[in-house]
């Protein structure tokens, strides 16, 4: 989708098409060029980028251009409990474990001759990485509870918002698996790296949001646009989309003015940065607290084992848990 094509919003089937709203001379144009080059290949593709940049939409475009006979099957690995990942990917046989009353089909089998998209690949635990490596290299797997080897002809696409090279150095990710999936990489730029696309994206979201709300097409004033352009967009395209839909719902007139924008856009840039930093600090503390709780549950309350799961010392875990409790 180029700048000229954006003049006809009906060319896009849904809001998800915003990933490909960009200027012809922008960084997303280079991504699209690589997508077209990589799509016909059989090799795995790794898509990297921050949360909210549109990595899944890139995967969908890869599959669409591949002309593979099967469908695209998308799996978010971060949404699957670690001890269920193997079962979800490969399926299980009847009687494989207590409660396994029937044989199931896993995501790999469902993908058939199509594409299996594994989002958040950095979340997969080390014990399952070797099985994933075998699947990619040999196209072979076994269901849980079975010794019969099955073949897969699916094409594999992966995505992550982590730096996998750092994960390899920390020994959280296998070196051989990393090199196997990273030969063909697509890095989706953050919105702050493609700010020239913001006016096009705003027009795109306004068209869809106004259509959904059954109201005339709204416009954004130059003063309001200027403030949006100064923002760094930590939530990327997804954050911009949410804000535009909110404005369409709340603004009575047909012109979006600076006073209509959320508070973070109505302060000077310094205060805006402070609020952004405070938000991320609070969110980091929340995530850390949740992670500690999950580790304690997985270890059955054994703090030493929980610390090992987290890759930190027992004393460090005790200190940080106490500090989190004090902060409450």
Domains, the chain, with CATH or none? 27-187 (3.40.50.300), 194-266 (1.10.8.60), 281-327 (1.10.10)
Q: What is the pLDDT of residues 90-139, one digit of tens each?
A: 999 999 988 888 999 999 999 999 999 999 999 999 999 999 999 999 99
Q: Which of 266, 247, 234 is nearest to 202 (CA)?
A: 247
What phi and psi, each to the nearest 5 degrees, are found at residue 229? Answer: -70, -25
Q: Which of 201, 194, 188 is nearest to 57 (CA)?
A: 188
Burial class (CB in 10 A: 0-12, 13-18, 19+), 262: exposed
Whole-structure pTM value: 0.74
Residue pointed to by tokens 């790296």: 193
Helix (H) or strand (E) holding 324: helix 314-327
CA 26, CA 57: separation in Å to the nearest integer? Answer: 18
**pLDDT attached to residue 151:** 96
For strands 219-220 and 115-119, give the pairing: unpaired
Provide the 10 A C-beta neighbour count for residue 213. Answer: 12
Q: Which of 239, 142, 236 is nearest to 190 (CA)?
A: 236
CA 55, CA 326: separation in Å to the nearest integer? Answer: 38
Token pair in block for residue 131: 């099985």
Query: Residue 208: pLDDT band by 50, 70, 90 thresholds?
Result: very high
Q: Answer whether 265's CB lies under 8 Å from 228's CB.
A: yes
DSSP state of 80: S
CA 45, CA 68: separation in Å to the nearest integer? Answer: 15
Q: What is the mean pLDDT of the chain?
A: 89
**pLDDT attached to residue 7:** 38
Count, residues in the chain: 328
Q: Quickly list DSSP for 223-274.
A: HHHHHHHHS--TTHHHHHHHHHHHHHHH--SSEE-GGGS-HHHHS-HHHHHH
Q: What is the pLDDT of residues 54-71, one digit of tens each?
A: 999 999 999 999 989 999
Residue pointed to by tokens 């469902």: 110
């Amino acid at each position: 989708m180029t700048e000229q094509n954006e003049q006809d919003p009906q060319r896009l089937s849904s809001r998800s098409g915003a990933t490909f709203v960009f200027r012809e001379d922008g960084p997303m144009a280079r991504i699209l060029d690589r997508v077209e080059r990589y799509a016909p290949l059989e090799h795995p593709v790794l898509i990297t980028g921050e949360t909210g940049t549109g990595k899944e939409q890139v995967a969908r475009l890869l599959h669409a251009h591949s002309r593979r006979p099967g469908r695209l099957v998308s799996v978010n690995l971060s949404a699957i409990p670690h001890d269920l990942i193997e079962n979800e990917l490969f399926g299980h046989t009847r009687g494989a474990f207590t409660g396994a009353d029937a044989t199931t089909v896993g995501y790999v089998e469902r993908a058939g001759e199509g594409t299996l998209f594994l989002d958040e690949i950095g979340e997969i635990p080390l014990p399952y990485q070797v099985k994933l490596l075998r699947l990619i290299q040999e196209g072979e797997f076994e269901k849980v509870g079975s010794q019969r080897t099955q073949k897969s002809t699916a094409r594999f696409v992966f995505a992550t918002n982590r730096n996998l090279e750092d994960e390899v150095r920390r020994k959280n990710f296998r070196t051989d698996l990393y090199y196997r999936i990273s030969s063909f990489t697509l890095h989706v730029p953050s919105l702050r790296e493609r700010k020239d696309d913001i006016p096009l994206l705003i027009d795109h979201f306004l068209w869809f949001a106004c259509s959904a709300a059954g109201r005339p097409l709204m416009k954004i004033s130059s003063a309001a646009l200027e403030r949006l352009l100064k923002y760094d967009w930590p939530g990327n395209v997804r954050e911009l989309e949410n804000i535009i839909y909110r404005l369409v719902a709340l603004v009575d007139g047909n012109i979006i003015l600076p006073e209509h924008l959320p508070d973070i856009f109505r302060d000077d840039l310094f205060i805006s940065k402070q609020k952004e930093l405070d938000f991320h600090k609070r969110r980091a503390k929340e995530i850390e607290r949740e992670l500690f709780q999950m580790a304690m549950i997985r270890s059955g309350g054994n703090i030493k084992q929980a610390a090992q799961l987290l890759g930190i010392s027992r004393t460090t875990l005790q200190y940080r848990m106490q500090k989190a409790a004090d902060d409450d």
